Amino acid sequence: METTTPTPAEVGRRATEILALIKGTEEFSRLERSSQAYTDCWATFTGYPLVANWDLTSDTPPLFEEALRVLALKSAVFELSDGDEHVAELEISAPVDEMVHAVLAQYTLCQRLTERIGIGFVHMTDQERFTYEVDGYTDQCYRAAGWGEPNRRYWLDRAEMGRRLDILGRKYESIGIQAEGRSHRFTFEELTPTEAATTRATV
């Protein structure tokens, strides 16, 4: 039986309620803090670096808000589509998706929070498509939730993401990083500047 995709108005209305519920839990302040901590552990080569003049300190807080909105939208679609995981896996921009991963990495908190308010966070890699387009279904649901226009600093359509990935790929390759960060030939045998200075001092 084919699932009927809920209208943006339905999704927006429910997502607004879900986001308010999330922010009203006693777990939220810790989720906010922990999702933005230890950022060196979850940055990739093809997510955040797509943002022009990327700065982890200033860009993390607004991206956290975008991630919460995405999770609220996905939860709303999942609920309104009677649990259709494929429909609920909305098309989103890679930098926003990376922050979604950072939030969901707080597994214990997310589990406790969602159980408390009776919703489910939806995210599966095998359902991701990365075909996000401006003014598509995701944007329509986002606006219907009353959040205005998605921040184009982070919400890049697939053509722009592809263009920036090409640029990043060339820059990575120029320093020996291949396949957009998936491989390299570094042996780590050369001395670091500190080791080199210590060696010279003892000679």
Is 172 domain-assigned?
no
Highest mean pLDDT among 85-94, 143-152, 180-189: 143-152
Average pLDDT over residues 133-161: 97
Is position 186 within any domain?
A: no
> Does 33 have pLDDT greater than 60?
yes
What's the mean pLDDT in 30-37?
89
- Domain-embedded: residue 115: yes
Residue 107: which domain range? 8-160
Average pLDDT value for residue range 124-129: 69
First and final C-alpha spacing in the chain: 77
Q: What is the average pLDDT score of the chain?
A: 89
Q: Number of folded domains in the chain?
A: 1
- Is residue 126, in this structure, part of any structural domain at all? yes
Tell whether the model's pLDDT for residue 1 goes beyond 60: no
pLDDT of residue 129: 67
Over range 55-67, report the average pLDDT. 93
Report the percentage of the chain scoring pLDDT > 90.
68
Residue 49 placed within a domain: yes
Average pLDDT over residues 161-175: 92
Provide, rounded to the nearest whole percent, the portion of the chain with pLDDT above 70: 91
177 part of a folded domain: no
Query: Does the residue 147 lie in any domain?
Result: yes
Query: Does residue 176 belong to any structural domain of this protein?
Result: no
